Structure 1
């Protein structure tokens, strides 16, 4: 049933122009988002929207089309990279519009910040676990307005009061049910009605939801199973060439020598493109391109960063972390209280650079012509990509067409447009379309990495072990300063201190500051969560240190600090209960707990681990309690918890990017290890349902898992680890 619809939903290989869309038949709804407001501005009938589009007086943020067949098309501003956003946002619309989920067709939105900006980031971007949070109200309002208009149209045709009619499954019925009209039959006439004021739109009471909150089947599952799904790497165009690329192994370096003659001698190779920082071999197919690239025998001038080493980076961070930073939070007098505390604890924690290592390596197809540039790619930041291509090509923005695709793993990597910029530079020298594909080695060694952080903490306890003072200094590079400047003010990176500046606990005297440190020769960027992925590990591991120093059970200790925070206390209690906290375990087995508030959601995890005599760690079970407010699809949340937990656990056990002589030492999955199937623990998810506004979930489990496992390791061995990934040599049994 869903096959033809899904082909229209996902497999969009040609751009849908805004003008063509507005001229489409039937009812068109548009809505606008202004700042953080939940109020939506709804478009007039289609003809008036076109007029307003010409005059620029109305710029809706998203569109819904209902055509005479009854199909509902949602122009989707968010990118699908496995997180289930196509399903979740379609459910929001379908719930209020009163249609079945399989009646919703999804098309990728064109690049347009004015229409499709994410309200959390103020650009058209899929990130910060914000898709449902950003569109929870606007999409439901759009559906409610559509339903009201369609009912009013039917009522007018029947000459009855609209209040006596109702809609269900895309059909409007009269009071007795003896008459009915489909949405398709009503769409054109409904488009001529005046739009009701936004204030008059009444959304469903959550108690009346029939779709939101249910385990709805994902709309993209079948096409991914049978191979119909199209990712960026699947782009196919007439006359397309394929390019393999080698990028300078040192940031800032450039090609010194290239044996173009040898490369061109390979059958199928058409040309060699040298753009200084990279060399591309363009061929009829990937096999020839790779052979040609190898034959080119490139040598490199390393430039100014050829001596960068990991030890020097860590030393720089360590030294800078001794200096005061920009204050993120200052309550009370932590310094004075520390000096007077009955017991004082200090610790240094470190987390490494991390790559994204998505299954789909970086790729981009570009056709650059005199008056336009078409780009086929999977991107989380479509409007940023369009802007950078326009700047590089010299063409106006409206001449840049970004054909967005499903993404085979984003994790924040596709928030950056460096891969597209490189492809456009190459395309400038190629006649016709060219697909640029990075090898796995290029993908890992030229990633934009989660920053290395160096943290200093201290705490003071009173005579009964209660914390009376807490200080936390974070040293690391700032992604926000480059990418989201309004998140960086007076030297403070708001993302870098998330989950540290406002831990969930009652701490009477607390001081948190941030020192920006930018290591040379390293590009840093968003990962699957950034600040919380290191801060939760640090805060929750150190909180366990306090519980141990106070000679108290870690769960009981935390409960004593969460009386003011019922939602945090709720997830902690539920996770502990479901994990059977306190029940006996064999020797060298342990349980660890962690709690967090990040991305608008509360989570708690209990990890159960076994540490072998050789120090190897086997994570046996993860129990996660989630309070993300009102949820849309429990199946999606559980999948995100499982995937995010394993993503974070992979990093905790194995993840580390290191530099030597300016070069990244890891190159493929043999040296940057993914979690193997025999390492994967059981992951259980328990949801707390409430009426709070939705929070984010995609990145939350990635942030929380490392602390739970670290605390379980301590429970099993009595050895405290303060660096990631876990050093198993320190865990070897002495017996």
Structure 2
């Protein structure tokens, strides 16, 4: 059993024992894949053709291409001989959600073994007897020219606009639904107090007004509408003119997370990452505070679902989710159905980044479809994505360091964050309170210092916030590495050492040292930059104790204080690389996230609600913000690990360290603001 499952099991036991009178939400089931499972993913169709039921969700990370490549190599067939179908709950056994950069790490070997067994069975005309030695695998040393650079699976369909996404689903008699909620965080109680039903019914395209107790988000109660066209939904919503009864917000996230207020109250912080006892008395060489604000996932595809009941009461749901089985579990429980009464069809997801893991539009569509007895499509607007989704967990950090003879002596890092794995988007307050006994591994991710010191102490506390927060690309890895790598850079400056030299003198892991040395070579580290207000920065990190990245960034700061990233170099080690082009694409995506994280992304809140309704209010990087990127994959034959989120550990801090070099200003509160460039050095 994995550590995550163990924590989940402990949490379930605690909550059942302590809060037996409260209803438990559905807990995701995430079994580890096995060879027996893999034998159900691949099927021989005769005449040398095969069908692969993809046990992962394709959301732009290229896993459809990568796993198909493995299948073709092991089966010994050409690319066109294998047809890949996206997951459906009726076609394969339960698999865990597509999260955590685990798809190649956990699924490549079982799939390769299953395909090898099928290859031998087809050649022999029957499967081997139990106890027979398994056939030799080909995938670790595959060198087939036709599969070294395979075509992007579904690539042609994407560029020609073929129907791949759940928003493309069309059903006979399809109508369109929306569930309205108060313009307020679901952490505050709200419900529809009054509305003009007659005016709504008078609108062309009106189908139904649906009141249902299952329209619930946190403490918010919703109201459903159904229309004949998507455009009619806007007119009906406007005509309803819902008046909301709302709880008044008491405090904001900044006050609740304030690390210095916690420390002033004597809070020693509950959960330990490093638990050395660092002396508190005496002076510190560095004492820095960092504040990481919330940020949106900003996926290009707003979430959507289609639901349809047949005459026998069986339900089909088409989803764009990271976990089709979890959608089945939640909808079954909330509608009182058995698993065999629901079929959930997975579709390609237009960006998720941890944000499409819970059940939202899927349940809304199912409830509306049951009410009107017609197939219903629900697709959130961009404004709903900002207002009703969960976002990057904000955090507040204090880091104190003592240095001795040019080396780290004492490292003390304390921070407060909202929950991530135990997100308040899915867990009520009483259940999150129970989670304090076991911590939150998502919050801790990336907080472990990979450098030697005489004593290291890193602790954190959890705080439920008045906004929804949860998994965001890499979970805590991006923000936590941003903090630690910024401080390490400042340590090197304090002792007058080159940042690369300082890191290499302290690094504990040989693979981390290897990517550091590699990226320095790629970028010609040490070469002076020319021009005014330009700077170069370096950072590195380890993702989930399994994958490694190091990044060098060059930036330029204009006279008005605006900053631009000129170039990024990245050395990336995720072990054995199956599909090099897809891994590079993931690195590029992560690095663009880092640019956004440091330079532009922010999610403002006002009066208990997210202020943004579109990308104009919550910006993301534009094409002009994307720098030249040079990526080198380090593959020394280690077992394959995660590539999906690894570069997030290094890119942000490398950019911030470059800004420090260009301006003399240490960025401690994201994002960069032009006024910072005018601060005294």
Structure-1-length-normalised TM-score? 0.81
CA apart distance, 1:262: 1.4
Larger radius of gyration between Structure 1 and Structure 2: 1
Matches within 5 A, 1:384-403: 384-403=326-345
Moved more, 526-535 or 241-250: 241-250
Give yes or no for contact 1:378–1:407 (8 Å, CA) kept in 2: yes
Residues 1:73 and 2:47 aligned together: no
Equivalent in the alignment of 1:547: 492
Give the Cα–Cα distance (whole angstroms) in 2 for the partners of residues 222 and 66 of structure 1: 25
Equivalent in the alignment of 2:110: 138
CA apart distance, 1:368: 3.7
Give the Cα–Cα distance (whole angstroms) in 2 for the partners of residues 567 and 311 of structure 1: 37
Residues 1:297 and 2:241 aligned together: yes
Residues 1:309 and 2:261 aligned together: no
Equivalent in the alignment of 2:87: 109
CA apart distance, 1:281: 2.8
Q: In structure 2, the residue corresponding to 1:390 is in which secondary structure?
A: helix
Residues 1:360 and 2:298 aligned together: no
Matches within 5 A, 1:575-586: 575-585=519-529, 586=531
Equivalent in the alignment of 2:608: 662
Q: Which segments of 5 or more consecutive residues in structure 1 lack a partner in the other structure? A: 1-32, 42-58, 118-123, 154-189
Equivalent in the alignment of 2:121: 149
Give the Cα–Cα distance (whole angstroms) in 1 for the partners of residues 461 and 112 of structure 2: 42
Equivalent in the alignment of 1:713: 659
Residues 1:126 and 2:98 aligned together: yes
Give the Cα–Cα distance (whole angstroms) in 1 for the partners of residues 504 and 675 of structure 2: 33
Equivalent in the alignment of 1:470: 411
Equivalent in the alignment of 1:326: 270
Give yes or no for contact 2:534–2:662 (8 Å, CA) kept in 1: yes
Give yes or no for contact 2:436–2:462 (8 Å, CA) kept in 1: no
Give the Cα–Cα distance (whole angstroms) in 2 for the partners of residues 587 and 454 of structure 1: 33
Matches within 5 A, 1:610-625: 610-625=556-571
Q: In structure 2, the residue corresponding to 1:413 is in which secondary structure?
A: coil
State the Cα deviation string for residues 8-30 of structure 1 (Å, max 9, x = none). Answer: xxxxxxxxxxxxxxxxxxxxxxx
Q: In structure 2, the residue corresponding to 1:325 is in which secondary structure?
A: coil
Residues 1:442 and 2:384 aligned together: yes
Matches within 5 A, 1:394-543: 394-462=336-404, 464-481=405-422, 490-501=437-448, 503-519=449-465, 521-543=466-488
Give the Cα–Cα distance (whole angstroms) in 2 for the partners of residues 405 and 36 of structure 1: 22
Give yes or no for contact 2:253–2:467 (8 Å, CA) kept in 1: no
Equivalent in the alignment of 1:240: 174
Determine which of 152, 156, 159 is the counterpart of 1:225: 159
Residues 1:371 and 2:300 aligned together: no
Give the Cα–Cα distance (whole angstroms) in 2 for the partners of residues 198 and 85 of structure 1: 31
Moved more, 311-320 or 355-364: 311-320
Structure 1 residue runs of 4+, over 4 Å off? Answer: 33-37, 314-318, 338-341, 482-489
CA apart distance, 1:280: 3.3
State the Cα deviation string for residues 445-486 of structure 1 (Å, max 9, x = none). Answer: 111111111112111110x22001112123112222357999
Give the Cα–Cα distance (whole angstroms) in 2 for the partners of residues 481 and 675 of structure 1: 29
Give yes or no for contact 1:630–1:693 (8 Å, CA) kept in 2: yes
| Cα distance change of structure 1 residues 612 and 34 upon mapping to structure 2, 3 Å threshold | closer
| Cα distance change of structure 1 residues 246 and 332 upon mapping to structure 2, 3 Å threshold | closer
| Cα distance change of structure 1 residues 194 and 206 upon mapping to structure 2, 3 Å threshold | closer
CA apart distance, 1:311: 4.3
Residues 1:679 and 2:625 aligned together: yes
Determine which of 538, 556, 560 is the counterpart of 2:505: 560
Give the Cα–Cα distance (whole angstroms) in 2 for the partners of residues 69 and 473 of structure 1: 62
Q: In structure 2, the residue corresponding to 1:568 is in which secondary structure?
A: helix
CA apart distance, 1:245: 3.9
Give yes or no for contact 2:416–2:460 (8 Å, CA) kept in 1: yes
CA apart distance, 1:436: 1.2
Give the Cα–Cα distance (whole angstroms) in 1 for the partners of residues 102 and 127 of structure 2: 33
Give yes or no for contact 1:622–1:681 (8 Å, CA) kept in 2: yes
Q: How many residues align?
A: 633
Residues 1:286 and 2:230 aligned together: yes
CA apart distance, 1:574: 1.3
Equivalent in the alignment of 2:194: 257
State the Cα deviation string for residues 234-279 of structure 1 (Å, max 9, x = none). Answer: 1100001012443221113121222121122121112222446223
| Cα distance change of structure 1 residues 489 and 618 upon mapping to structure 2, 3 Å threshold | same
Across the aligned residues of Structure 1 and Structure 2, the Cα RMSD in angstroms comes to: 2.7
Give yes or no for contact 1:456–1:472 (8 Å, CA) kept in 2: yes
Structure-2-length-normalised TM-score? 0.87
Q: Which segments of 5 or more consecutive residues in structure 2 lack a partner in the other structure? A: 1-28, 216-220
Give the Cα–Cα distance (whole angstroms) in 2 for the partners of residues 225 and 500 of structure 1: 40
| Cα distance change of structure 1 residues 199 and 415 upon mapping to structure 2, 3 Å threshold | farther
Moved more, 270-279 or 105-114: 105-114
Q: In structure 2, the residue corresponding to 1:458 is in which secondary structure?
A: strand
| Cα distance change of structure 1 residues 248 and 212 upon mapping to structure 2, 3 Å threshold | farther
Give the Cα–Cα distance (whole angstroms) in 2 for the partners of residues 412 and 428 of structure 1: 29
State the Cα deviation string for residues 196-230 of structure 1 (Å, max 9, x = none). Answer: 54753322373444379833221110110111142
| Cα distance change of structure 1 residues 489 and 316 upon mapping to structure 2, 3 Å threshold | closer
State the Cα deviation string for residues 599-621 of structure 1 (Å, max 9, x = none). Answer: 42100011110111221111111
CA apart distance, 1:307: 4.2
Equivalent in the alignment of 2:17: none
CA apart distance, 1:69: 3.0
Give the Cα–Cα distance (whole angstroms) in 2 for the partners of residues 211 and 126 of structure 1: 29
| Cα distance change of structure 1 residues 695 and 112 upon mapping to structure 2, 3 Å threshold | farther
Q: In structure 1, the residue corresponding to 2:372 is in which secondary structure?
A: coil
CA apart distance, 1:592: 0.7
CA apart distance, 1:505: 1.7
Residues 1:601 and 2:547 aligned together: yes
Give yes or no for contact 2:209–2:226 (8 Å, CA) kept in 1: yes
Q: In structure 2, the residue corresponding to 1:287 is in which secondary structure?
A: helix
Give the Cα–Cα distance (whole angstroms) in 2 for the partners of residues 716 and 404 of structure 1: 47
| Cα distance change of structure 1 residues 439 and 632 upon mapping to structure 2, 3 Å threshold | same
Give yes or no for contact 2:278–2:455 (8 Å, CA) kept in 1: yes
Equivalent in the alignment of 1:571: 515
Give yes or no for contact 1:622–1:682 (8 Å, CA) kept in 2: yes
